[in-house]
Amino acid sequence: MTPQEFFDAMRYFGEPKIPDGVDSSVIMKVYREEIERYGPEVIQAAAEHLIKTRKHRNFPLAEECRRACVEAQNAIAERKLAEKPRKMSSDPWSMDRIRQANQMMDSTIGRLAAEEGWIIHLHDWCRENGRLPNPMEGEKVRSKGLAIKAERDRIDAMPGANMRIVKAVGSAMQRKREKLGKMAFATVA
């Protein structure tokens, strides 16, 4: 689907409201800039999603169109990752497995894990299993990752003789969380 076909489909909601004295081509340019960076498959999925789920009967805002495209792009990427045949090394520490897990972090669950601080645990799970967790597995991974994070935070707060070692390990984990977090938000506009 092209951007123009997308706009035509959005007319299902009525014509866009253009204030008096404003050139309609300027407004359409804003819409076009928001969605033309996406491919036809993403634009098609975004249009279908808006038509099926939008509750308002007025032309959607440019931000709604962009958000629908981002969500469609994420859903398509996750579906393709899940469908991809797995011909990976059986060694969970192989470079292929690590690279694959890195790619999986650029997903909805990867962004959630980055925001909540359990992305290292998610990355380890993906590296070991060669795929993203399903929703039930994802909740278990999240619970375990948050428990590990809470324990790590508790240890970091303890006074003691080994604080230099604890702080060094904590700093290394923070750097890894930040690196994986950047991977999780790699394609978000």
Is the residue at 90 inside a domain?
Answer: no
Long-range contacts of 73-82 (CB under 8 A, 24+ apart): 73/38, 73/42, 73/187, 74/107, 74/108, 74/187, 75/45, 76/41, 76/42, 76/45, 77/106, 77/107, 77/187, 78/107, 78/108, 78/132, 81/107, 81/131, 81/132, 82/131, 82/132
pLDDT at 14: 77
Is the residue at 18 inside a domain?
Answer: yes
Say yes or no to pLDDT of 85 above 70. Answer: no
Are 53 and 100 part of one and the same domain?
A: no
Is the residue at 19 inside a domain?
Answer: yes
Are 120 and 175 part of one and the same domain?
A: yes
Are 159 and 121 part of one and the same domain?
A: yes
Are 71 and 118 part of one and the same domain?
A: no
Are 40 and 121 part of one and the same domain?
A: no
Is the residue at 75 inside a domain?
Answer: yes
pLDDT in tens, 2-56: 777 876 777 778 777 777 887 878 878 888 888 888 888 888 898 888 888 888 7
**pTM (global) more than 0.85:** no
Is the residue at 17 inside a domain?
Answer: yes
Is the residue at 107 inside a domain?
Answer: yes
Q: Which domain holds residue 162?
A: 95-184
pLDDT in tens, 32-42: 888 888 888 88
pLDDT in tens, 110-119: 989 999 999 9
Say yes or no to pLDDT of 129 above 70. Answer: yes
Is the residue at 88 inside a domain?
Answer: no
Structural domains in the chain (count): 2
Are 76 and 115 part of one and the same domain?
A: no
Is the residue at 87 inside a domain?
Answer: no
Are 178 and 146 part of one and the same domain?
A: yes
Are 69 and 46 part of one and the same domain?
A: yes
Are 63 and 120 part of one and the same domain?
A: no
**Location of structure tokens 């938000």:** 185
Angle at 143 between CA 150 and CA 170, to 5 degrees: 30
